[in-house]
């Protein structure tokens, strides 16, 4: 199979797996992550096939979306072999998709990612901040019946992996402090950091405006 044929097959597989989800993980998220990864790939010498394959597949076996992530990882493995990926390429892609999450980054020994993995992680995180990030947080919060904001519930800004995973009582605004405002400092590549800084400021301005309106100061 040619590179283009492999990528088309991966895109189709991802589309089929992702199109039914209503929590901000729709295929449009995947397409934005791909576009951003392509932009970063222009500046970084990573393997484009591994990077884009992992970007297309990064949420397919997410344990927030499927009840049996291990079974989906098996399915991805078989699929990649069926389009001529070597054992080594399959392992590289699965290592990335398995290890890029925010909660894994909070563990004591966060997994080390290859440059391809760092690009996918940056691209995924860039889609969680800025105007798109604000929209996704509101959309997710609505789908999970979160309160918009409660000034009496303080954000828990310092959390380890287990605490983050067991959050309850989350408000949409707290999600900014507990995750979204931390992402800029966690970017791996200079290209992503530069994009992130602009989106970060946009969120800070949004939060100022939101709180001023909440207190009827504006
Ligand atoms: P991803 O790794 O693709 O960013 P997540 O499953 O972590 O996916 O989250 C999907 C989207 O929903 C992200 O934009 C994220 O910021 C947002 N989100 C996740 N948890 C919450 C929450 N508790 N409240 C509001 N938004 C959330
Ligand atoms: Ni994602």
172-200 tens-digit pLDDT? 999 999 999 999 999 999 999 999 999 99
State both tokens at 117. Answer: 């993995």
Out of 137, 167, 178, 183, give the residue to mutate to test ligand 1, the one with the largest number of ligand atoms within 8 Å of its CB. 137
In the predicted model, is pLDDT for residue 24 greater than 80? Answer: no
pLDDT for residue 64: 77
Q: Indicate the pLDDT class of residue 90, thresholds 50, 70 and 90.
A: very high
Q: Does the CB atom of residue 58 touch ligand 1 within 6 A?
A: no
CA torsion, ordered 113, 118, 124, 126, to nearest 10 deg? 140
**Residues 93, 80 contacting (CB under 8 angstroms):** yes
Residues 180 and 138: their CA atoms lie apart, in Å, by: 12
Q: Does the CB atom of residue 182 touch ligand 1 within 6 A?
A: no
To the nearest 10 degrees (0 to 180), the angle between helices 190-214 and 27-41 is 130
In the predicted model, is pLDDT for residue 131 greater than 90? Answer: yes
Hey, whose CA ends up nearest to atom 4 of ligand 1? 128
- Global pTM value: 0.95
Q: What is the mean pLDDT of the chain?
A: 93
To the nearest 10 degrees (0 to 180), the angle between helices 115-126 and 87-99 is 40
Residue carrying structure tokens 């605004």 = 173
Domain spanning 3-214, CATH architecture: Orthogonal Bundle (1.10)
pLDDT for residue 23: 57
Q: Indicate the pLDDT class of residue 156, thresholds 50, 70 and 90.
A: confident
């Amino acid at each position: 199979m040619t590179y283009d044929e492999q990528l088309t097959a991966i895109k189709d597989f991802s589309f089929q797996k992702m199109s039914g989800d209503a929590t901000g993980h729709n295929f449009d998220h995947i397409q934005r992550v791909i576009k951003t990864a392509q932009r970063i790939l222009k500046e970084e010498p990573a393997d484009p096939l591994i990077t884009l394959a992992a970007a297309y597949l990064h949420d397919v076996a997410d344990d927030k979306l499927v009840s049996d992530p291990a079974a989906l990882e098996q399915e991805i493995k078989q699929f990649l072999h069926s389009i001529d990926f070597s054992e080594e390429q399959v392992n590289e892609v699965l290592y990335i998709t398995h290890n890029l999450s925010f909660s894994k980054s909070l563990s004591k020994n966060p997994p080390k990612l290859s440059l391809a993995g760092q690009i996918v992680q940056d691209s995924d995180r860039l889609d969680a901040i800025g105007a798109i990030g604000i929209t996704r947080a509101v959309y997710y919060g609505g789908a999970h019946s979160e309160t918009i904001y409660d000034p009496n519930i303080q954000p828990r800004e310092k959390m380890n992996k287990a605490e983050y995973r067991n959050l309850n009582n989350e408000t949409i605004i707290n999600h900014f402090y507990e995750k979204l405002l931390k992402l800029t400092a966690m970017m791996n590549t200079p290209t992503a950091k530069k994009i992130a800084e602009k989106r970060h400021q946009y969120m800070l301005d949004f939060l100022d405006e939101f709180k001023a309106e909440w207190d009827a100061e504006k």
